[in-house]
């Protein structure tokens, strides 16, 4: 079996990045839809929901053998960005 080099590892990471971006795009579609359905900014921010999602993904990370801390930090950053997007969508759908 041939030894893998750094370029092989980078190519594998690049392939995963493509898949992750496609999944983020799918998640964004649902976030945009949710932004049109929520009644107010507090419903968009939904801090209780955020914590439920964090608890869920930490457990999923543990099951998958990923670092729960890395997954939590990644999700908190992603959720913050999606909340900003959702607020823009929500306000736009309300004519604000």
Gyration radius of the chain's alpha carbons: 17
Q: Is residue 89 part of a domain?
A: yes
Q: Which domain holds residue 57?
A: 6-93
DSSP for the chain, written as a single string:
-PPP-HHHHHHHHHHHHHHHHHHHHHHHHHHHHHHHH-SSHHHHH-HHHHHHHHHHHHHHHHHHT--HHHHHHHHHHHHHHHHHHHHHHHHHHTT-
Domain count, the chain: 1
pLDDT of 86 strictly over 60: yes
Do 32 and 86 touch, CB atoms closer than 8 A? yes
Q: Rounded to 5 degrees, what angle do the CA atoms 45, 47, 53 make?
A: 105
| pLDDT confidence of residue 10 | 97
Mean per-residue pLDDT, 27-48:
91
Q: What is the pTM of this model?
A: 0.85
CATH code of the domain in which 75 resides: 1.20.59.10
| pLDDT confidence of residue 36 | 86
- pLDDT, mean over the chain: 93
Q: Is residue 14 part of a domain?
A: yes
The pLDDT tens digits for 15-35 are 999 999 999 999 999 999 988
Q: Is residue 1 part of a domain?
A: no
């Amino acid at each position: 079996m041939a030894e893998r080099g750094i370029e092989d590892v980078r190519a594998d990471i690049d392939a995963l990045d493509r898949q992750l971006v496609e999944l983020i795009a799918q998640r964004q579609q649902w976030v945009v839809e949710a932004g049109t359905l929520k009644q107010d900014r507090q419903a968009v921010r939904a801090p209780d929901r955020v914590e439920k999602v964090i608890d869920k993904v930490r457990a999923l990370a543990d099951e998958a053998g990923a670092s729960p801390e890395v997954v939590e930090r990644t999700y908190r950053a992603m959720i913050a960005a999606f909340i900003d997007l959702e607020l823009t969508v929500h306000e736009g759908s309300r004519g604000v």
